[in-house]
A = this chain, B = another copy of it.
Amino acid sequence: MARSALPGRGLETLIDALRALPGVGPRSAQRMAYHLMQHDRVGAEQLARALDGALEVVRHCARCNNFTETELCTLCRSPGRDPALLCVVETSADLSMVEQTLSYSGLYFVLMGRLSPLDGVGPRDIGLDRLLERATDGIVREVILATNFTNEGEATAHYIAEMLRARSIKASRIARGVPLGGELEFVDVGTISQAMLDRRGL
């Protein structure tokens, strides 16, 4: 990067700030900044406002931990969902994928991560205390573990299963229709649908 040839602090600051986006390195950030300043100032303005807007309104649902703009999210408030079923997913994107299958009518708990001791992510960091509280509320009859089939996702599922077994709560794991090593977000909806049907007791 020719930092020396950069045409000023404002642009330099923008290029640095764009690197907060996942998967954006110095070169992409430079391209993005130049593109916005040259071809899409309206888009840049809208992005700044959208960031401010989201920062102001986006928070976590008090029940399922998913992103929401109200105390409880739309799904948790929906009377049509079966509160006896609780599906545990790693991220909001994963929840979206399960919803798209139209094969699940229960509720969710979003971990917003997965257990990862090497990165210092422990049970409390992904809200397992809140998940346990929820699972033992007397309404939930089955917890469906739909974490990814990666090493960390599997470890997280097993950890939660053990935790629930100690309280005699039924836990199941979505079937390994999802390819080994795969991540829910990138799998087709039919596969996820099959995996929901084939879930097995743990």
Check A187 for interface membership: any CB of B closer than 8 A.
no
Distance between A164 CB and nearest chain B CB, rounded to angstroms: 25
Grouping DSSP codes into helix (H, G, I), strand (E, B) and loop, the A interface class, with mixed when no group exceeds half, is helix
In whole Å, how far is A5's beta carbon from the nearest beta carbon of chain B?
4
Question: Which B residue sits closest to A31, measured CB to CB?
Answer: B22
With a CB–CB cut-off of 8 A, which chain B residues contact A51?
Answer: 14, 17, 36, 44-45, 47-48, 51
A197 in contact (CB, < 8 A): no
Contact status B20-A67, CB under 8 Å: no
- Copies of this polypeptide in the complex: 2
Bound form: Cα–Cα A46–B41 in Å = 18
Give A80-96 interface residues, CB cut-off 8 Å to B: 91-93, 95-96
The 10 closest A-B pairs by CB, nearest first: A20-B43, A2-B96, A17-B50, A8-B69, A48-B51, A10-B57, A5-B99, A7-B67, A14-B54, A14-B50
A contact set with B: CB distance below 8 Å: 1-2, 4-11, 13-14, 16-18, 20-23, 27-28, 30-38, 40-41, 43-58, 61, 66-70, 73-75, 91-93, 95-97, 99-100, 112, 185
